[in-house]
Structure 1
């Protein structure tokens, strides 16, 4: 694809953080097959904490892919490692479990060529394939939410100048959760604009066990940091769903009251609080199950996890508040 008249070709680099999952090979192979202007360089950042052997990756465009290490410090630190290594005006971040479209590079070039002088980032269009023969599970629906997510770094191109102006990713976010929303808010607060492009990227649902939604509750600690950095309205500004923390607080409180009342011999209070806990837990499980596939496996998973998610969500949110209660609010440097 040639550049529009009077405009030089867009130059970009690609950064892919990984923990060594097998899907990395498919990600790089899809990038290699895409048609259009080629990246100046592709950098894979190996974020395995204890790598027993060097990461083996396929070449892209017939050239070896540069592999760096970030020692298990999380995706934010891994992306910063890649950002420091890329010498290009645009840096495209891809997750290792995505597969770019066949014309992705061509569409990317068009997205970046159309960017205005104050455009700091351009998001790709994510598509999550769901089963055609049954209703999606709770985990599959959660992954499908990426299709409407704002500024997800599964496929997000940033102007390197904008990233360096705000200091890159905040490495206090240790998970693949909220670090992209935090960066987007800081970039916009610094006076840059973010837009959505037309390039398309597939984000398959990765395999997961029954307890994946329970482990995901650790992200509530990151929500506490987001509130500290960006204020109580960060949800709206980042285009993020509000979540169920208030309901989780109520259900957890009812369960705690039931237990304490039972120990104190206050049977009436214990029975009432226990009933409220059971109703709240049942409502949560039904909300997750009613649009699902109605298999025995999914029903058992929803019932089991719906009982433990509310107290864990509250626990992680409280831990995050305690950990980050003295973090200074973000202020753009003029």
Structure 2
């Protein structure tokens, strides 16, 4: 006689066939990511794992990567094209076999111990018009002190909607919209672009239950300045999806208008000083100083206010506004003729849905 299931027990759904694609630049975090993936999927391993090393040697070879023994027989390691994570993910997707789902993981995330069971629940019996299922991202922050500026920036991923740190995408949907747009060369906005194209093609997006940790990024003092390159990607998003793209993608606006104003004030102060207009130079310089001070305080006050953190915030708060403005201007030039991609003309699209019109809110299931 079979025992009755205990009250509250949830039957484990049949695991779907899926492949995993991990783009990497060879960071040490890859070992932690793959080790956690192996442990989490021991009961129902993926059909294939494709690791795309996007910084191959000059001869196209890749170094020996730390693939756990449990995944070695399932894993293919290939050289990426060196054009950023969007192109690397497309390379991995082409080699991922015929599994109906592809799970994209970043090389710096850590799947939870029950990630495999959560993925099975997330994908089991999904309607055919659900194109993607996002994981829930946890960002472990230090206890006993306020988070630093870098830690707060990473913590924002916990509330972001459609980041490919851990995103399961239906192969038919990915093929239908042509994969990731390789014009996005950084790990920024390529996921939001894919989500909006899927919605516009009539697919739905879902929020899953599996959990994945994303430790705070470590990139040194000047990482916030380098990240301002994303302002050029925002220009491309506007070209492709219209002025309402932020609302549709749940992407809050940043401080670019203030950065442009601060940069303009600084340039005006310099120009006036060089041409002998001292009073105008003083006024513009005061405006630049006030804007820079406000920006610095906005970053210092929520943090731990250590000597190193305060110094980093002062230096980078001076550098960020002109860097942001430069990348925005460069984006206007580089992407001035950018055109939206169109879905493939094949029957792989969602069977009974109506495309979302630009400017409308997305439809999300759980």
Within 5 A, what are the aligned runs for 1:38-187? 38-50=45-57, 54-59=63-68, 61-64=70-73, 65-86=75-96, 87-187=98-198
Give the counterpart of 1:17 among 18, 23, 32. Answer: 23
In the TM superposition, what whole-angstrom CA distance separates every residue of 1:102-143 from its partner, at most 9, and x where no partner exists?
Answer: 110111010001422110000001001011021110000000
Tell me the CA shift for residue 333 of structure 1. Answer: 6.2
Query: How does the TM-score come out when normalised to structure 2?
Result: 0.87
Rounded Cα–Cα distance in structure 2 between residues aligned with 1:250 and 1:135: 30
User: Matches of 1:169 and 1:230 in 2, distance apart?
Assistant: 15
How many Å apart are 1:206 and its aligned residue? 3.1
Cα distance in 1 for partners of 2:11, 2:117 equals: 9
Q: Does 1:201 align with 2:212?
A: yes
Deviation (angstroms), 1:59: 3.3
User: What does residue 4 of structure 2 align with?
Assistant: none
Partner of 1:328: 339
Alpha-carbon RMSD: 1.7
SS at 1:32's partner residue?
helix
Matched residue SS, 1:145: helix
Q: Measure how far apart 1:55 and its partner are.
A: 2.9
**Deviation by residue 1:10-41 (Cα, 9 ceiling, x = unmatched):** 11000000001111111111011115422111
Unaligned runs of 5+ in 2: 1-9, 346-366
Report if aligned partners of 2:103, 2:166 keep a CA contact under 8 Å in 1.
Answer: yes
Verify the 8 A CA contact 2:16 2:120 in the aligned structure 1: yes
2:295 alignment partner, SS class: helix
Equivalences for 1:246-261 in 2 at 5 Å? 246-261=257-272
Q: Distance in 1 between matches of 2:335 and 2:20?
A: 32
CA distance in 2, matches of 1:327, 1:62: 40
Q: Indicate the structure with greater helix content.
A: 1
User: Could you say which residue in structure 1 is the equivalent of 2:320?
Assistant: 309
Q: Which residue of 2 aligns with 1:245?
A: 256
- d(CA) in 2 for partners of 1:62, 1:48: 22
For the 8 Å contact 1:14–1:42, the answer to whether it is kept is yes
Match of 2:279 among 268, 282, 287: 268
TM-score (norm 1): 0.95
Change (3 A) 1:260 1:23: same
| 1:167 Cα offset (Å) | 0.4
Secondary structure at the counterpart of residue 150 of structure 1: coil
Deviating above 6 A after TM superposition, structure 1's stretches of 4 or more consecutive aligned residues are none
Partners of 2:24 and 2:52 within 8 A in 1: yes
What SS does structure 2 have at the residue aligned with 1:61? helix
| Of 41-50 and 193-202, the range deviating more from structure 2 | 41-50
